[in-house]
Structure 1
Amino acid sequence: MDTKTPLLPQSESTMLRRPSSRKLRRFHIAAFIAVLGLFWLGWTWQCPDPSHNHGRAEESKVPLEIHIMSKCPDARDCLQNLVLPTMQKVSDKVDFRLSFIGKTTDEDDGVQCMHGQTECLGNILELCAAHVYPDPKIYLGFTMCMSRNFDDIPKKDLVEDCALEHGMDFDKINHCVSQDDGAYAMDLLRKSVERSAEANVTKSCTVRLNNKVRCIMDGGDWSECEGGSKPEDLERDIKSLYDASRGWAE
């Protein structure tokens, strides 16, 4: 600012400039600094650094990762019956990630998808949606919308309708898909597929909680769902892990 506000109220500044002994002047200045120091110390005690608290909150979130294929009916049912209902209750407690299943090769731009190249493009569209709109509450809705009509993936009308339904800009998603002649989006898919492979995930849909398999839907049936396959079961486990990470466990 161009105008500087004096540290002392005007009346006190005037008082300090009046003829007085040096000792008296020094006493007033020292007293003011002492009061200011005590005020600042009290403020820091009562108001910790919010960025420090935010960092701790982020660290305590529970990893929840869903591995899917965009044109897979099991992915649709898994999202609709387990993942979305759970996220509606505990999205603030999880570090959510959506990954895709495929196979890296030296052909087909480096990735093959079980349901063909249209599925690869569907995977890319959903990855780009997550990249452009990183809030899971937004991009998960878009992914669910696409999954409900997975036979139509990647038709433009479907993508535009799902983007509009969830307040997303289709042009931004399309830019991600076409950036660098498609190389950028293809790299997103390749890294996602490699991540699933490193986790030894081969079935869509696989739900991993805290970096461990929590549930698998394959062929319309749940398996490896220790603790249950209902949203309230997954919600309970997430809350338990979250509380434990923050030292709240009994």
Structure 2
Amino acid sequence: MENKSLLPQTEEPTPQRPAPPKYTTRFHGVLLALVLAGFWLASSWTCGHEHMHQETSSKVPLEIHIMSKCPDARDCIEKLVVPAMANVSEKVDFKLSFIGKTTDDDGVICKHGQTECLGNILELCAASEYPDPKIYLGFTRCLVQRYEEIPATSLIKDCALEYGIEFEKLNDCASRDDGAYGMGMLRDSVTRSSELGVSTSCTVRLDGKTRCVRDGGKWRDCEGGSEPEDLVSDIEKLFDETRGRTE
């Protein structure tokens, strides 16, 4: 029976004894397709280490734009987004988007190579299969804390287990239609970020406007402050205003 896994089937090599990872035929084919699509390191996108539907009309739109293998994304999620969401998640319509570049042949270019694109796809799959932000944002946070290891199977499994996600669901999502399904989600996400003029990981947008940017290990464009309580205060104020308009 064909193994449909999209992920490496061996643990990542130790630094002392480097060895190329082994992939299933399907995963190798997807990676080859990604390479042929033209993955490269694009300096126009900034990552600092290199420079259930409910009544969402009353909720405040909060969106973060990231790259899965970017330390600024790690810091942004860990120091600002997750602590804020822990206090106001019920008032927020949360969305996770990614930064990259689409190609003419239906591919996607990711700044840190094809492994980052696969990390992005897995995080989008988590959001698709488990739409509760407490689950998929937690999973994303877990991955980005060890971003250098993405997409090691051991890391994916550890983070999936921690947040009650079935590993096979993620793998099936990423592998569906020989990878075309996940790539389609990534293309849509990257297109959204591009159309919004977002090119820096991590960019936090609140109510349709840039609220804060983590760039090069520093905060910028954070009118109103870059602490979780500052973001919480803004969300609560917007929520009260929006709820007043809808009542």
Q: TM-score scaled by structure 1? A: 0.75
Please give the residue correspondences for 1:2-41 in structure 2 after superposition, counting only pairs within 5 Å. none
Give the structure 1 partner of residue 234 of structure 2.
237
Measured on the aligned residues, the alpha-carbon RMSD in Å equals: 1.2
Give the structure 2 partner of residue 223 of structure 1.
220
In 2, Cα distance between equivalents of 1:124 and 1:97:
14
Give the structure 2 partner of residue 89 of structure 1.
87
| SS of corresponding position for 1:154 | coil
| SS of corresponding position for 1:246 | helix
In 2, Cα distance between equivalents of 1:170 and 1:106:
32
Give the structure 2 partner of residue 158 of structure 1.
155
Give the structure 2 partner of residue 79 of structure 1.
77
Shift of 1:103: 0.5
Higher helix share: 1
Q: Which runs of 5+ in 1 are unaligned?
A: 1-53
Give the structure 2 partner of residue 106 of structure 1.
104
Equivalent residue for 2:119, pick from 119, 122, 130: 122
Equivalent residue for 1:205, pick from 189, 202, 205: 202
Give the structure 2 partner of residue 191 of structure 1.
188
Cα displacement string for residues 12-38 of structure 1 (whole angstroms, at most 9, x for unaligned residues) = xxxxxxxxxxxxxxxxxxxxxxxxxxx
Shift of 1:58: 2.6
In 1, Cα distance between equivalents of 2:56 and 2:206:
16
In 1, Cα distance between equivalents of 2:58 and 2:161:
34
In 2, Cα distance between equivalents of 1:233 and 1:58:
22
Cα displacement string for residues 103-158 of structure 1 (whole angstroms, at most 9, x for unaligned residues) = 11135x51000001110000001000110000000011100110011000001111
Amino-acid identity (%): 66
Give the structure 1 partner of residue 170 of structure 2.
173
Give the structure 2 partner of residue 134 of structure 1.
131
Number of residue pairs aligned between Structure 1 and Structure 2: 193
Letter of the 2:83 partner, please give it: P
Tell me: higher relative CO, structure 1 or 2? Use CA pairs within 8 A at least 6 residues apart: 2
| SS of corresponding position for 1:168 | coil
| SS of corresponding position for 1:64 | strand
Shift of 1:247: 1.3
Letter of the 1:65 partner, please give it: E
Letter of the 1:94 partner, please give it: V
In 2, Cα distance between equivalents of 1:156 and 1:211:
35
Letter of the 1:226 partner, please give it: E
In 2, Cα distance between equivalents of 1:114 and 1:245:
37
Shift of 1:59: 1.1
Give the structure 1 partner of residue 8 of structure 2.
none
Letter of the 1:169 partner, please give it: E
Give the structure 1 partner of residue 46 of structure 2.
none
Give the structure 1 partner of residue 63 of structure 2.
65
| Structure with the greater alpha carbon radius of gyration | 1
In 2, Cα distance between equivalents of 1:246 and 1:72:
36
| SS of corresponding position for 1:63 | strand
Letter of the 1:101 partner, please give it: I
Cα displacement string for residues 67-102 of structure 1 (whole angstroms, at most 9, x for unaligned residues) = 000000000000000000000000000100000000
| SS of corresponding position for 2:244 | coil
